[in-house]
Amino acid sequence: MRRLTCVGLAALALAGLVAHTAHSRTLKDVKPHRGVTAAHAMPIQGIDVSYWQGDIDWKKVRASGIRFAFIKATEGGDHVDPKFLENWEGARRAGIARGAYHFVYWCRPAHEQALWFMLNVPQDADALPPVLDLEWNSHSKACPKRVSRAVALEKIRTLLDAMQAHTGKRPIIYTDPKFHKDVLQGEFGEYHFWLRSVAAKPHLKYGDRRWAFWQFTMTGHVPGVKGRVDRNVFNGTEQDWNRVLRWLSAGQ
């Protein structure tokens, strides 16, 4: 996704003041953290969802000011999120830009996971680039193990290549500070990143890593979604986002 641009948070805070006034009454955080205050003022707000959010009223989500959604599609090599297709079509009908994400299982061969993603995710030209969700899954009962950095990087490259071949778009990499430090530091500079940082601005956790999306809270409140939901922001201005949408509408 070559036209996504990365801009400084300080400039974005100024650019997003008007947008912040419009959506601040509806988009909230159940447990706000002062370290991520800047994210609330950024103009292009989004969420990420899975079946845990239950039934979503996507029209209300869009009316609240949400502009994009990353939707869980697949996990490992044999699991499809039960709400994926419902959320996928619901977001589309509401006019919310959406992208599908795959959650990696480190004990499953990469080629099996790649095939599973390709079998279950539509090749919609208007979708955001797919996301590869990279984190250790130590709490999993089925697949808690870690692999070496070399093995992890090999699996990641296989999956990224397959996802790009399937969608025609270079994938976005989602990660957290631990996995980034263990595996991704210094790698994949040609990819856009979606970074989790719920207590500080991304540069304080990831150094000079450039990023396109920031997951800044897991305790968000958004009309149309029952309970808590992850909230995210796009690292760009309104004009930058409009360029992304034009890029998508052109089927690039």
CB atoms under 10 Å from CB of 19, counted, come to 18
- What's the token pair of residue 230? 């992850």
Q: 194 in helix, strand or coil?
A: strand
Q: Going along the chain, which residue ranges are E strands?
A: 28-29, 45-49, 66-75, 79-80, 97-103, 131-134, 172-175, 192-196, 213-221, 229-234
Rounded to whole angstroms, how far apart are CA atoms 48 and 28?
15
Beta pairing partners, 194? 174, 213
Task: State the pTM of this model.
Answer: 0.90
Show pLDDT as tens, one digit a residue, over the chain (252 residues). 444 444 433 333 333 444 444 555 789 999 999 999 999 999 999 999 999 999 999 999 999 999 999 999 999 999 999 999 999 999 999 999 999 999 999 999 999 999 999 999 999 999 999 999 999 998 887 788 899 999 999 999 999 999 999 999 999 999 999 999 999 999 999 999 999 999 999 999 999 999 999 999 999 999 999 999 999 999 999 999 999 999 887 765
The reported pLDDT for the residue numbered 52 is: 97
The reported pLDDT for the residue numbered 23 is: 59
The dihedral formed by the CA atoms of 157, 158, 160 and 161, expressed in degrees to the nearest 10: 110
Residue 207, Ramachandran bin (φ over 0: left; ψ between -120 and 50: alpha; else beta): left
Give tens-digit pLDDT for 119-148.
999 999 999 999 999 999 988 877 888 999
Q: Does domain 9-249 have CATH number 3.90.1150.10?
A: no
Q: Among the options 75, 135, 190, 238, which is catalytic?
A: 135
Rounded to whole angstroms, how far apart are CA atoms 215 and 46?
9
Rounded to whole angstroms, how far apart are CA atoms 42 and 227?
23
The reported pLDDT for the residue numbered 144 is: 81
Alpha carbon separation from 11 to 15, 38, 44 (Å, rounded): 6, 10, 14
Q: Which residue has the tokens 């090999």?
A: 154
Q: What share of the chain is helix, strand, coil (3-state, %, to 5)?
A: 40, 20, 40
- What's the token pair of residue 190? 């040609």
Instruction: Using alpha carbons, select from 126, 121, 123, 118 the residue that is nearest to residue 98.
Output: 126
Q: Look up 135 and say whether it is catalytic.
A: yes
Instruction: Domain ranges for the chain, please list them.
Output: 9-249
> Burial of 120 by CB count in 10 Å (0-12 exposed, 13-18 middle, 19+ buried)?
middle
Beta pairing partners, 45? 66, 233
